């Protein structure tokens, strides 16, 4: 089929490239000419493992193209995907301005019957709004069908998730269109769930809100564990073996971040409020997460009392490994707090430093490696569980740092490893381990 995708962010670009990989002819559209020219050369504007290889393969195969021209891109398109951003407003509601622009562009330029598919995460009722915009602005006498087809991709593994997802959700009130959409994905061996449009919209928000709830729940349990002397790692394993609960998203740490969970949880609270429902549970989930992001700062202050002038190494800035995305990352909250307290901060991340420089305080310095960041540091904070950070040789920290003092916000190391390394170690939901000083 001939498919157009509006938007080349994480969702749009991954969706377009993967659709071309399963045999469709895809044009990805972006208004940024420089970005389009870069993508035409097979260069991805985002860091996503495996994506560039697929881009180059399908560009060469003639199935993938990039354009900034909506009109020519829509000619003879069977399907147009909307995959633009829906950033969070100050109120917590989703900003639909990019959605509105995309809908109007479709209305102005399509010349044949078209299926319009919303991939963007949008509040319940938005697809009906999109349909109204298109119908009211059509330049030609054509039929338009609307489908809600939410994405469930994880940054850092989005390509793999596309080909190995748990389900494909198709929301439409037209059985023919539902079958048509299922046929688009026929080369993916993934179960398809068909429902109405508004239920599909809600499935996306409900899924992310539930996962965020699991994260905040396990972090609250971790905080109790520290008070009663239990080990959150064992707790999570014991809980996760119950099939009703499941093991995923029971990893204690410094809270969730990224482009989805914070935005979607706030948006769902807003949606509930707009419909006269006080979503108390989700409000608590958000509050717990906000507090959890400051956990390491509070512990650092308790440990040193005065942070002014102390050299603090930050290991990891991205909100999770295998991405350069720092949106709503706990690292931003932590680094800003430490900067206010006068700490001398040196940060390292293998991918996200350039993005960090755009929003973090100017006085932050950056290291080119883990060892450079640790050199002569008074303490180190692990904020992202990159593999190279998890491979730090703890026994050698005393040769690099002023004192081997480690605050692990992602529980990267087992307590057994730490005990034989002779470092001072503070983690989440587990006992702190003090360094054993050599006898005089």
pLDDT tens-digit series, residues 269-287: 999 999 999 999 999 999 9
How many whole angstroms separate alpha carbon 404 and alpha carbon 187? 52
d(C-alpha 136, C-alpha 221), whole Å: 52
Order of strands, edge to edge, in the sheet holding 2-6? 64-67, 25-29, 2-6, 79-82, 114-118, 144-148, 168-171, 192-195
| Sign of the C-alpha dihedral computed for residues 85, 88, 90 and 93 taken in this order | positive
In terms of domains, do 233 and 214 share one?
A: yes
Q: Output the pLDDT for position 89.
A: 87
| Domain limits for position 416 | 196-439
Two structure tokens written together for 336: 């800003």
Helices within 96-247 (DSSP H only):
97-109, 126-137, 158-163, 175-184, 197-228, 232-240
Collapsing DSSP to helix, strand or coil, 67 comes out as: strand
Strand partners, 381: 314, 407
How many beta carbons lie within 10 A of that of residue 303, not counting itself?
Answer: 15
Cβ proximity of 63 and 20 under 8 Å: yes
24, 131, 392 from 81: Cα distances, Å = 13, 13, 43
| 18 counts as catalytic | no
Give the pLDDT score at 25. 98
Establish whether 250 is an annotated binding residue: yes
Round the average pLDDT of the chain to a whole number and report it: 96
Tokens linked to 273: 């409020």
Are residues 188 and 200 part of one domain? no
pLDDT at 94: 87
Residue 30 sits in the same domain as residue 102: yes
Burial status of residue 217 (CB atoms within 10 A of its CB: 0-12, 13-18, 19 or more): middle
The DSSP output letter for 433 is B
**Tens-digit pLDDT profile for residues 65-88:** 999 999 999 998 999 999 999 998
pLDDT recorded at residue 437: 58
CA distance 110 to 278: 41
**204: annotated binding-site residue?**
yes
Task: Give the pLDDT confidence of 178-233 residue by residue, as tens digits.
Answer: 999 999 999 999 999 999 999 999 999 999 999 999 999 999 999 999 999 999 99
Domain end position, chosen among 195, 227, 246: 195
Cα 388–Cα 300–Cα 237 angle in degrees, nearest 5: 55
Tell me: do 173 and 207 sit in the same domain.
no
242 and 185 in one domain? no
- Whether 154 has a binding-site annotation, put simply, is yes
Q: Is 86 helix (H, G, I), strand (E, B) or coil?
A: coil
Tens-place pLDDT, residues 300-313: 999 999 999 999 99
Residue 358 annotated as binding site: no
**213: Cα separation from own chain's centroid:** 16
Do the bridges between strand 365-366 and strand 344-348 make them parallel or antiparallel, or are there none, so unpaired? parallel
Residue recorded with tokens 């991805």? 44
- Other CB atoms within a 10 A radius of the CB of residue 242 amount to 9
331-374 pLDDT, tens digit per residue, is: 999 999 999 999 999 999 999 999 999 999 999 999 999 999 99
pLDDT digits over 375-393, tens only?
999 999 999 999 999 999 9
Choosing from 18, 225, 260, 412, the catalytic residue is 260
The reply to whether 166 and 315 lie within a common domain is no
Annotation-wise, does 195 bind a ligand?
no
350's tokens: 């293998």
State the helix-helix crossing angle for 330-340 and 295-304, rounded to 10 degrees. 30
Cα 140 from Cα 110, distance rounded (Å): 7
CATH of residue 139: 3.40.50.720
Condensed to tens digits (0 to 9), the pLDDT of residues 260-269 reads: 999 999 999 9
Residue 66's alpha-carbon distances to 8, 57, 155, in angstroms, are 9, 14, 22
pLDDT of residue 229: 95
338 lies in the same domain as 323: yes
The answer to the question of whether 121 is labelled as a binding residue is yes
Q: Are 52 and 63 in the same domain? A: yes
CB 380, CB 408: distance < 8 Å: no
**272 and 289: one domain?**
yes
Structural domains in the chain (count): 2
Query: Does residue 97 contact residue 126 with C-beta atoms inside 8 Å?
Result: no
* Residue 265 annotated as binding site: no
The helix (H) or strand (E) run that includes residue 144 is strand 144-148
Answer with the one of 149, 179, 195 that is the final residue of a domain.
Answer: 195
What pLDDT is stored for residue 81 in this prediction? 98
Q: What is the pLDDT of residue 410?
A: 98
Q: Quick: pLDDT tens for 30-68.
A: 999 999 999 999 999 999 999 999 999 999 999 999 999
Is 251 annotated as a binding-site member? yes
207 and 191 both lie in a single domain: no
Two tokens, residue 396: 């050698």
pLDDT at 440: 37
**CA torsion angle 249 166 146 90 (round to 10):** 10
220 in the same domain as 99:
no
Say if residue 143 is in the same domain as residue 243: no
pLDDT at 247 over 80: yes
Given 177, 195, 213, the domain boundary residue is 195
Asked if the model's pLDDT at residue 125 lies above 80, the reply is yes
| Residue 439, pLDDT score | 43
Q: Which two tokens stand for residue 161?
A: 């998730």
pLDDT band at 90; cut points 50, 70, 90: confident
For the chain, percent helix, then strand, then coil, each to nearest 5?
45, 15, 40
Angle ∠(155,160,163) on CA atoms, nearest 5: 125
């Amino acid at each position: 089929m001939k498919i157009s995708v509006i938007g080349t962010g994480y969702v749009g670009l991954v969706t377009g490239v993967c659709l071309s990989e399963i045999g469709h002819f895809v044009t990805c559209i972006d208004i940024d000419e420089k970005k389009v020219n870069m993508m035409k050369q097979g260069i991805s504007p985002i860091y996503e493992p495996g994506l560039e290889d697929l881009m180059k393969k399908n560009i060469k195969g003639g199935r993938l193209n990039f354009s900034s021209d909506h009109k020519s891109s829509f000619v003879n398109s069977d399907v147009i995907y909307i995959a633009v951003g829906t950033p969070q407003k100050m109120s917590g509601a989703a900003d639909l301005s990019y959605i509105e622009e995309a809908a109007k562009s479709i209305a102005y330029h399509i010349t044949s019957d078209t299926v319009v598919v919303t991939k963007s995460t949008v509040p319940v009722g938005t697809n009906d709004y999109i349909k109204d915009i298109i119908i009211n602005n059509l330049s030609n006498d054509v039929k338009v069908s609307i489908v809600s087809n939410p994405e469930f991709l994880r940054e850092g593994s989005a390509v793999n998730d596309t080909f190995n997802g748990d389900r494909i959700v198709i929301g439409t009130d037209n059985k023919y269109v539902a079958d048509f959409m299922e046929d688009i994905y026929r080369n993916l061996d993934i179960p398809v769930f068909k429902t109405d449009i508004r239920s599909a919209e809600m499935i996306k928000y409900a899924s992310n809100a539930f996962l965020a709830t699991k994260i905040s729940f396990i972090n609250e349990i971790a905080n109790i564990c520290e008070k009663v002397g239990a080990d959150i790692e064992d707790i999570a394993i014991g809980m996760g073996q119950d099939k009703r609960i499941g093991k995923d998203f029971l990893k204690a740490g410094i809270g969730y971040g990224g482009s989805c969970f914070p935005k979607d949880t706030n948006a769902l609270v807003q949606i509930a409020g707009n419909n006269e429902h006080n979503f108390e549970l989700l409000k608590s989930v958000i509050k717990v997460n906000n507090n959890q992001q400051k956990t390491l700062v509070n512990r650092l202050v308790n440990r040193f009392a005065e942070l002014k002038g102390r050299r603090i190494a930050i290991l990891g800035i991205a909100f999770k490994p295998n991405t350069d995305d720092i949106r709503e990352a706990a690292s931003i909250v932590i680094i800003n707090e430490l900067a206010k307290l006068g700490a001398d901060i040196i940060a390292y991340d293998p991918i996200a430093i350039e993005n960090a420089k755009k929003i973090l305080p100017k006085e932050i310095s950056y290291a080119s490696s883990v060892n450079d960041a640790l050199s002569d540091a008074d303490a180190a904070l692990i904020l992202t569980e990159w593999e190279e950070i998890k491979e730090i040789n703890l026994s050698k920290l005393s040769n690099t740092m002023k004192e081997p003092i480690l605050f692990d916000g992602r529980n990267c190391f087992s307590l057994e490893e730490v005990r034989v390394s002779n470092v001072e170690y503070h983690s989440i939901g587990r006992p702190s381990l003090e360094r054993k000083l050599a006898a005089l």
